[in-house]
Amino acid sequence: MTAETISNLDDARIRAYRDLKDKQLAQAFGLFVVEGEHLVRRLLASDLSVHSVLMTESRYASHAWDIDSPLYLVSKELISGIVGFPFHRGVLALGRRPAQLPFTQAWSEIEGITRLIVCPEINDVENLGSIMRSAAGLGFAHVLLGPSCCDPWARRAIRTSMGAVFQLNIC
């Protein structure tokens, strides 16, 4: 993918990055945000669809990147203006939220004997992220969330899971 340089905060190509909270991203665009090089690389390596990647010009120049999605380069000053706070990680990505299958449909697609993590009601996104990281580390592939659980695609849940959420089947 050819990198496109962005020099204006009002550029329509980066609209989804500007000052949006996780719930706004989910509702308006069906996206989730990933912060930092490690997590962005894990997202890019996953089977999930990547909407776009935004990074500083210096971060792009300092590492090799294999990106098949739109890639936008900005200055260090502009990236902080885009996200609305001092941002030092240098790279963000937006992923497309996968369709959340009803449990009966998801279960019918699982083959063979499997282990399942069931979280009927987790209200803290960092706790959910820790559970997902532990589940993936222990070889679990499936997580069932109750209707009053917090969002597994919330920024802090993804960060706490260290990207393990990208390899789990969540329903």
Q: What is the pLDDT along the chain (171 residues), one digit of tens a residue?
A: 678 999 988 898 888 888 567 677 777 788 999 999 999 999 999 999 999 999 998 888 888 888 999 999 999 888 888 877 777 778 999 999 998 777 777 777 777 767 889 999 999 999 999 999 999 999 998 898 998 999 999 999 999 999 999 999 888
Give the separation between CA 87 and CA 164, rounded to whole angstroms.
Answer: 23
pTM of the model: 0.87
CB 129 within 8 A of CB 163: no
**What's residue 19's pLDDT?**
59
**What's residue 58's pLDDT?**
85
Would you call 94 exposed, middle or buried from its count of C-beta atoms within 10 A (0-12, 13-18, 19+)? buried
Using DSSP's 3-state secondary structure scheme, residue 103 falls into helix
H runs (alpha helix) in 37-117: 37-45, 57-62, 76-83, 103-108
